[in-house]
Amino acid sequence: MERNSIFDDIKYQKGVGPKMAEILNQMGIYTKYDLLTYPPFRYIDRNIVEEENIRDGEYVTIFAQVVDCGEIFTRKGKYIFQAVAKTKNDNYIFLTWFNNRYIKNYLKKGDTAIFSGKVRVKRSVYEILHPDFEIFKDDFFELINTGKIVPIYHTKSKITQKYLRKLVFTLIKTFDRIEEDLPYKLVMRKGLMSLTDAIKNLHFPENEEKKEQSLRRLKYGELFYTGLVVAKRKLEVKEKKVEKNYLLKSKLVEKFISSLNFKLTKDQEKSIEDILKDLRSERPMNRLLMGDVGVGKTVVATVAMLYAVESGYQAALMAPTEILAQQHYLKIKDWVENLGVDVELLTSSINENKRRYTQISDGVIKIVIGTHALIREDVVFKNLKLVIVDEQHRFGVIHRSSLKEKGIDVDYLVMTATPIPRSLSLAIYGDMDLSEIRERPSMQKEIKTKWVSPNGIEKMYDFIKKRIDNGERVFIVCPAIEGGEEAEYESVKKVYENLSKTYLKGYKLGIIHSRLSPKDREKVMMKLKEGTIDVLVGTTIIEVGIDVKEATVMVILSAERFGLSQLHQLRGRVGRGEKQSFCFVVSSKDITDDAKKRLQVFCKYNDGFKISEYDLKLRGPGEIWGKRQSGIPVFKFANFFEDFDLMKEAFRDAENLLYSDINLLKKENRIVRINFERSLNEKID
């Protein structure tokens, strides 16, 4: 059966058998459309060069007729195929291939062909070794591999450049006119290239300018549809007027702020102002609170919760891990208990307590802090109005919204410690209003970071002992819990044992990792806080939790095994008090260049924003946060760093379009609706 939709499976394309289809799938090509939009990573100019412009040593493409050809065996048994061809101006070209017995099947005397390669010119005789060539039938438009600017793709195993070019070329011919995936009016107004031309010029650009236009068109398309998703989410909250009864003025908030033993920073004050304004407005709050680890987001969250509580509502705060939930709980409880507000903790390890559930559903408990356990079905709220999600360093578009379902038209605050570039936050959080805390509490000193070589370890531990003698605490992080004898990385158990016997003999060490029960983890964490232990050896579980003011030293062993953002998060565990803090990264001797670069950047910058920008450049957003479920769009053409302006433009256009036709029911927007629905479906599976 003849199939002719561009969204057909690629296996239905002529010339693609099951084997080839499988390899194409591995390259991310599932449909004909995927192939049509498979971007070349490079091009070569194989336009035919006028003979007067041929220069010795240059890469050229020449049109000529074969006057003679044949195979030669050298005395040593080497195989050579040679041809002599004549150009339009009656100049001769000598063409030579070594060890290629196939050429004779393709190139015959009398053939006219186009040859490309690096040319040597000797007294107007040309010579090319191993030229690429293509036989010329009678139509320049039929040429695929020469005579024009030709694409080079990333390929896999059996898929060759020629094979791929041929497939693409045939597809382009088959789908002579590809339906626009943007509204016609928009394409006209923006002066965009048609999709058909963009795809043609993506693979076989007529010239540099058309190539640029094509790329712009394809980037714009991707960005437009990403913008549409964001606009849709935004519209859903923004356009909704809701019933709210927040007090005009909150005594509780004032009391709380004056009870703190520190003064709020300007950024904290501004964020609080933003939030209170949102809460009092007639629309649900939908705000992102962004700020590096330790800048003091929790106070801001607490203010919001107290305001909700005093106004008669319940508030919930969800954290990504048990330890973090516990920490929030302990701190917030400490802050608000003497204000007469009931706070409870809800995590999966304490869910046996049924009474707690009843108290939540009766509305006795006003503030609930917890993990994902909060979104379980049996957790019912009486009047949940404020939902705060502390994402810390992960994005989870999916979990986030389920907690919102527990209340009606809830006010929503997301806290993130991942300072991301504006472009990325526009794509992920573009539907949200933004408050940012950049200023650190003034008493916090910049953490000093040092890269320690294996030879410097003893000195480092001497230094650490002095800090402990001075009443300070230490974290030591390893990549794994345990490892065999020969493991080339450090493990918690080994390091713990070694240190207790050697460098840190006589000091009080504790251990923490994910195999301990949450209760035990909490115990050891409290011990560190109280000073019953001086040193905590653990895995990255330390990263997401414990806030100990006395902790001034973070040691990261086998540091080359950690990602840049992760290192930065670990460093954020110290420097929370007034004393000078230190971070030591210890690496093995032989590490990759990438790892070196990471550690250099890490030591150089203390600013989370800089760190995450580097991380993004080094690895790309997909690598850092995982692809699909994180809600980060994956682009084929657009780039978060280079295309911010185009992104803003496309997002604005998408938003305007949606506002003018909320359900995309206008005839002219039919194609947008179809594509939009298709893209949403793709995201779900």
Smallest gap from Cβ 272 to ligand ADP, in A, equals: 11
* Nearer to ligand ADP among residue 171 and residue 293 (C-beta): 293
Give contact residues for ligand ADP (rule: CB under 6 A).
262, 264-265, 268, 291, 293-299, 417, 441, 443, 547, 576
**Using CA atoms, how far apart are residues 395 and 314, in angstroms rounded to an integer?**
25
**Using CA atoms, how far apart are residues 538 and 598, in angstroms rounded to an integer?**
22
* Nearer to ligand ADP among residue 237 and residue 553 (C-beta): 553
* Nearer to ligand ADP among residue 314 and residue 327 (C-beta): 327
First CA to last CA distance, the chain: 28
Instruction: Name the closest residue to ligand ADP (Cβ).
Output: 296
Q: Length of the chain in residues, anyone?
A: 685
Helix (H, G, I), strand (E, B) or coil at 439: coil
Smallest gap from Cβ 317 to ligand ADP, in A, equals: 11
Give the amino acid at 184.
Y
H-helix or E-strand spanning residue 680: helix 670-684
Pairing of strands 433-437, 448-452: unpaired
Give the amino acid at 341.
V
Cα pseudo-dihedral 45, 51, 54, 56, rounded to 10: 130
Tell me which DSSP letter residue 79 carries: E
Tell me which DSSP letter residue 573 carries: T
Smallest gap from Cβ 468 to ligand ADP, in A, equals: 21
* Nearer to ligand ADP among residue 294 and residue 479 (C-beta): 294
**Using CA atoms, how far apart are residues 114 and 85, in angstroms rounded to an integer?**
10
Tell me which DSSP letter residue 144 carries: S
* Nearer to ligand ADP among residue 327 and residue 558 (C-beta): 327
* Nearer to ligand ADP among residue 296 and residue 633 (C-beta): 296
**Using CA atoms, how far apart are residues 611 and 584, in angstroms rounded to an integer?**
17
**Is 26 in contact with 156 (CB distance < 8 Å)?**
yes
* Nearer to ligand ADP among residue 544 and residue 586 (C-beta): 544
Q: Any idea what the Cα angle at residue 13 is, between residues 7 and 19, rounded to 5°?
A: 110
**Is 274 in contact with 433 (CB distance < 8 Å)?**
yes
Smallest gap from Cβ 323 to ligand ADP, in A, equals: 13
Smallest gap from Cβ 294 to ligand ADP, in A, equals: 5
Count the Cβ atoms, other than its own, within 10 Å of residue 392: 19
* Nearer to ligand ADP among residue 554 and residue 658 (C-beta): 554
Smallest gap from Cβ 298 to ligand ADP, in A, equals: 3
Smallest gap from Cβ 476 to ligand ADP, in A, equals: 21
Smallest gap from Cβ 259 to ligand ADP, in A, equals: 12
* Nearer to ligand ADP among residue 262 and residue 641 (C-beta): 262
Tell me the sheet residues that pair with 92. Answer: 86, 125
* Nearer to ligand ADP among residue 297 and residue 598 (C-beta): 297
Smallest gap from Cβ 331 to ligand ADP, in A, equals: 7
**Using CA atoms, how far apart are residues 294 and 89, in angstroms rounded to an integer?**
75
Tell me the sheet residues that pair with 112. Answer: 65
Smallest gap from Cβ 220 to ligand ADP, in A, equals: 37
* Nearer to ligand ADP among residue 296 and residue 396 (C-beta): 296
**Is 393 in contact with 290 (CB distance < 8 Å)?**
no
Smallest gap from Cβ 554 to ligand ADP, in A, equals: 15
Asked whether the CA dihedral 212, 214, 220, 222 is positive or negative, the reply is: negative
* Nearer to ligand ADP among residue 364 and residue 434 (C-beta): 434
Tell me the residue ranges of DSSP E strands in 74-176: 79-87, 92-98, 112-122, 125-129, 132-135, 149-152
Alpha carbon of 9 to those of 31, 637, 645: distances in Å? 4, 22, 35
